[in-house]
A and B are shown apart, each in its own frame.
Chain A
């Protein structure tokens, strides 16, 4: 509705259709490509696919699905389109069938696995093939990627033991390394992409705070004081995967946490002078989504402080695209702080920023969850060191 209200029905639909033929590799801000109406329509369509899948598979709405759908919508602002996510979902479905399971068993992998959408767009649009050859290759490549995702997702989970919330970021990043290597070997240049919308629009600034206030209001009306007590209990959880706050505490507490995180994130972006554009709104939506599935104030502040410290040490302005996104998405490492303390969180945030500055190039921008990739690597390394120390320290 916001899309139609902003740009009109016809213009929004036209921009939305044009967007389907745009490569969505990191970082392509769709606001700069298709305008506000077309981009919001795209995000809504991507989110709607997620909602339909959840309904169709008979899964109950929960913290997990809340996180997945908000993340999908967020990335519908800079990379995901209905066209480039459907082959991935098909691939995961086929994978489930192969081992005698239902899609509902892998629904979380299917929803988050849509981070590989740009792989489809790259094969479709950047290989220089004829239209139908490109469409076929993109469809095939996306399906194959989706087919492999469940096996990799479980393996990656063991690597960091649930201490990085965006496990599919690590999974898709790992898979993208292979895809990018093959495509680079085939001669694809992979020119770095950075399309970043900088126009200051009040509506975009108010979008997340508005949504946050709506969630807070819903939580308080529905559960009143219980929501606040649940919110306080949530702050005591480590957040390690899988921590569904709607189950562990209450839906109201989880929504209150998500809403307050959205407000805090918006204030943070405003304070560092960041732009309120597709990627930043996507980051804020993701943080809010995971406010029901692992992220809260107590386990995330030290990680965010670690990123800020890293930017300070390496002289990177916090308002630049990389730093501002790392500030938001570094909260993937919140469980490390939740389990092992603030110093570990600070250190993890510091390393995370160093890593995320490099990982985008490695995977050719085809994995939209680049911070999840860097966060997963950081978590795996941190967990390995802690485990080695605990297992080998001589007990007195």
Chain B
């Protein structure tokens, strides 16, 4: 898949998830490196701790290459049912979900086999 298409699909899935709660503000920030990319998404909705936990669980699920490649092709394509963060979780290298004063902040780092985490702003203690 071309990188542009991949990014569009990733943004589509995460935006689909957050737009269900109808935020008044949604910010998507993209940072690209040669072997990976960092998406930071912010909204202005309050999310419960239970929801944050389930988001963290889905986004940090164990790696499933057999599902990521085949079913991961659905990421950002199918908007009929509810958004599925596990589709992103199988593809993500690292993720952080935190509640800010105004809403939620989701950091997602994606990359291939040559992904070099030190080139990104991934917290060193993780």
Contact = CB atoms under 8 A, between A and B. Distances in A.
Interface of A: 57, 59-60, 62, 64-65, 101-102, 104-109, 150, 153-154, 157-158, 161-162, 238, 240-242, 244, 247-248, 339, 383, 386-387, 390
Contacts of A107: 66
Contact of A157 (B73, B80, B81): B73
B73 A105 contact: no
B67 A64 contact: yes
Contact of B70 (A108, A158, A240, A390): A108
Given A238-B81, A383-B80, A390-B80, A161 B66 contact: no
Given A64-B66, A104-B65, A108-B66, A241 B71 contact: yes
Given A157-B71, A241-B71, A247 B62 contact: yes
Contact of B74 (A65, A108, A162, A248): A162
B78 interface: yes
B71 A161 contact: no
Nearest to A386: B80
B77 A158 contact: yes
Interface in B38-76: 61-62, 64-71, 73-74
A150 B71 CA distance: 11
Contacts of A386: 80
Most chain B C-beta atoms within 10 Å of own C-beta, residue among A106, A109, A240, A242? A242
B71 A242 contact: yes
A158 B61 contact: no
29 contacts: A59-B66, A60-B62, A64-B64, A64-B66, A101-B69, A102-B65, A104-B65, A105-B65, A105-B66, A105-B68, A105-B69, A105-B70, A106-B70, A108-B66, A108-B67, A108-B70, A109-B70, A150-B70, A153-B70, A154-B70, A158-B77, A161-B77, A161-B78, A161-B80, A162-B78, A240-B81, A241-B71, A241-B74, A242-B86
Given A59-B66, A105-B66, A242-B67, A157 B74 contact: yes
A174 B125 CA distance: 50
A218 B75 CA distance: 35
Contacts of B67: 64, 108, 242, 244
A84 to B, nearest CB: 23
A162 B65 CA distance: 18
A157 B87 CA distance: 14
A244 B67 CA distance: 10
Contacts of A248: 86
A339 B74 contact: no
Nearest to A65: B66
Contact of B64 (A62, A101, A162, A238): A62
A158 B78 CA distance: 7
Select the residue from B61, B70, B73, B77 with max chain A CB neighbours within 10 A: B70
A161 B81 contact: yes
Contacts of A62: 64
Given A101-B69, A104-B66, A108-B66, A158 B74 contact: yes
Contacts of B71: 157, 162, 241-242
B35 to A, nearest CB: 15
Contacts of B69: 101, 105-106
Nearest to A247: B61
B90 to A, nearest CB: 9
Given A161-B74, A162-B74, A247-B61, A339 B66 contact: no
Contacts of B64: 62, 64, 244, 247
A169 to B, nearest CB: 15
Kindly list the 6 A-B residue pairs having the minimum CB-CB distance in the complex, ordered from nearest: A105-B69, A161-B78, A242-B71, A154-B73, A107-B66, A59-B66
A104 B64 CA distance: 10
A387 B81 CA distance: 10
A391 to B, nearest CB: 9
A39 B93 CA distance: 45
A332 to B, nearest CB: 16
B86 to A, nearest CB: 8
